[in-house]
Amino acid sequence: MLVKTFLSSPFGCFEICGSEFGIRTVHRVRQDGIADDLPAGHPVAVCRQELEAYFAGKRRAFDVALDWSGAPEFHRLVWAELVKIPYGETLAYSDIAQRIGHPKAVRAVGLANRHNPIAIVVPCHRVIGKAGELRGYFYGLDIKMALLRHENPQRFAEQGSLF
């Protein structure tokens, strides 16, 4: 049975959905919902706690179980590589393609990124263009940059004006 809960964060409200097998989705939603009462060890409750700690700057990696059932095999391959990208670091789409053994599948990697159902926990925001430029993010490039700054404020610092 799928259950869901909601989490308000500095990046908006997120809906977390999953079952006893793992998290299926973490999506940003327009308004807060009512958080369900869940047993402490349920993956949805665990994910909520881990995301709260992440947003508070107290967690750098996620341990919650993930449930990618029904997703295309290539997407799963890409997502499995995304979770290996360390906190505060980035890789290019071409790096991911290379790592999964499909060096010419850069666009397909981008498509898999776009269809990542478990935002932040599966850190597709850590994938950027080969020249270091930000590329599409389903919540907008401003949110992608904010997440990168959250994880690595020195590298992604906002530049001030000289005048």
DSSP string, 100-126: TT-TT-HHHHHHHHHT-SBTTTS-GGG
Q: Tally helices (H) and strands (E) across the chain.
A: 5, 5
Confidence class for position 67, pLDDT limits 50, 70, 90: very high
Q: Which of 72, 80, 84, 83 is nearest to 111 (CA)?
A: 72
Average pLDDT over residues 116-127: 96
d(CA 104, CA 96): 11
Average pLDDT over residues 77-82: 98
User: Exactly one of 13, 17, 47, 124 is catalytic; which is it?
Assistant: 124
What share of the chain has pLDDT > 70, as a percent? 93
d(CA 128, CA 89): 10
User: Is the model's pLDDT at 156 over the cut of 80?
Assistant: no
What 3-state DSSP class applies to 156?
A: coil
Confidence class for position 5, pLDDT limits 50, 70, 90: very high
Average pLDDT over residues 26-55: 88
Instruction: Measure the CA dihedral 21/26/27/28, to 10°.
Output: 150
On the CB side of 43, CA atoms within 13 Å amount to: 22
User: Is the model's pLDDT at 163 over the cut of 60?
Assistant: no
Confidence class for position 160, pLDDT limits 50, 70, 90: low
Residue whose tokens read 């919902």: 33
Spatial contact of 39 and 45, defined as CB atoms under 8 Å apart: yes
Confidence class for position 79, pLDDT limits 50, 70, 90: very high
Tell me, yes or no, if 13 is annotated catalytic. Answer: no
Average pLDDT over residues 100-109: 97
> Which string of b and e fits 37-69 if b means at least 16 CB within 10 Å?
ebeeebbbbbbbebbeebbeeeeeebebebbbe
Beta strand extents in the chain (DSSP E only)? 3-9, 12-19, 22-29, 91-92, 127-128
